[in-house]
Structure 1
Amino acid sequence: MEDQPEEVLRFMDAVKALRAIEDDAACARAISNALKYWGDNSGTLREIRQERVQRLRDQGMTWQEIGDVMGVHFTRAQQIAKGFRGSKRPKKEAEEKSAE
């Protein structure tokens, strides 16, 4: 694994610790409890990332530089700055009208 911030390493260690729980019921219960909080925090993580990408852009970084720093394609960096969520992008007006 490439150089990761301490927070990422602690997260990965927590996932490994969950996997290491020997009792199947206890493991499933612990993971279910963790997932309850994941949903609440995933949106917060996306918001923080979007804000930081926008700040990098405001500091004069190119989309290519931002993508390189993040390990994503430059077009994905642009999408993140706009708040797009991968395949769950906001619907375009045409798509919304055809769905009606």
Structure 2
Amino acid sequence: MTDPEEEVQRVLEAIDALVESGPPLDRAKRSAEVMTAVQTRMRRARRQAVQELKDGGMTLREIAAELGISFGRVRQILADDPDKPAPE
């Protein structure tokens, strides 16, 4: 199994390769496409993981403490619709 930090580095390098070459307009368009796709997938993954913690018996306050975020933020994550575009 691959080290999670190595996986993150490989993903970032792949993103860099996508957005570092070509004319500025092309780079801007590719960057926007990548950003939207990554945000949607990460929002979905985060929501699913937090939901699994809750379904596993953790309280929202326990989840918040473990993640180092506020109780209110945990509630927002659970209420998030990952398929709705993120605000710009």
TM-score normalised to the size of structure 2? 0.58
The answer for unaligned runs of 5 or more in structure 2 is none
Amino acid at match of 2:65: D
4+ residue runs over 4 A deviation: 28-31
After the TM superposition, which residues 11-50 of structure 1 pair with which residues of structure 2 at under 5 Å, given as runs? 14=13, 32=28, 33-50=30-47
The whole-number CA distance in structure 1 between the counterparts of 2:81 and 2:69 is 14
Pick the aligned partner of 2:56 from 49, 54, 59. Answer: 59
C-alpha deviation, 1:31, in angstroms: 5.8
Cα deviations by residue, 1:20-48 (Å, 9 ceiling, x for unpaired):
x8xxx97x679633332111221121111
The answer for unaligned runs of 5 or more in structure 1 is 89-100
Cα deviations by residue, 1:61-96 (Å, 9 ceiling, x for unpaired):
1112211222210111011011168xx6xxxxxxxx
Bigger-Rg structure (1/2): 1
Higher relative contact order (CA 8 A, sep 6+): 2
**RMSD value, Cα:** 3.3
Pick the aligned partner of 2:65 from 64, 68, 72. Answer: 68
Number of residue pairs the alignment of both structures matches: 74
Identity over aligned pairs, percent:
28
